[in-house]
Amino acid sequence: MLAALNNGTINKLFGAGNRSFTLKGTDLSGGSGAKIFKMLPGGSTPAVLLQTNAAACIGFTTTATYDCAVSWPNVPIQASGSAKGSINNVLLAQTMTLFFNIANSANLGTIKIEGNKLTFNNLACGSSTPGSLASIQYIPCTVFNYLNANYTGTGHPNINDLYDLANKVLGAVVTTISASDMNAALNAINVGFDKGKALMKQEITCSVPVTRAGSQIMNEVTAQKPVITAYPNPFNDQVRFILQATESGKATLDIYNMVGQKVKTAFQGQLVANSPQTVEYKIPAHSPSENLIYIFRINSKQFTGKLINIRN
pLDDT of residue 5: 67
What's the rounded Cα separation, in Å, for the pair 137 and 183?
13
Name residues of the chain where pLDDT drops below 70: 1-9, 54-56, 58-59, 125-128, 152-154, 207-227, 286-289, 311-312
Spell 64-97 as b/e; 16+ CB within 10 A means b. bbbebeebbebbbbbeeeeeebbbbbbbbbbbbb
pLDDT of residue 179: 93
d(C-alpha 77, C-alpha 94), whole Å: 14
Q: What is the pLDDT of residue 172?
A: 95
Domain ranges of the chain: 2-103, 110-222, 224-312
What residues are paired with 117 via a beta bridge? 138, 203
Residues 182, 46 contacting (CB under 8 angstroms): yes
According to the model, what pLDDT value does residue 22 have? 93
What is the pTM (predicted TM-score) of this model?
A: 0.66
Question: Which pLDDT belongs to residue 252?
Answer: 92
Q: What's residue 226's pLDDT?
A: 58
Q: For the domain made up of 224-312, give the CATH fold.
A: Immunoglobulin-like (2.60.40)
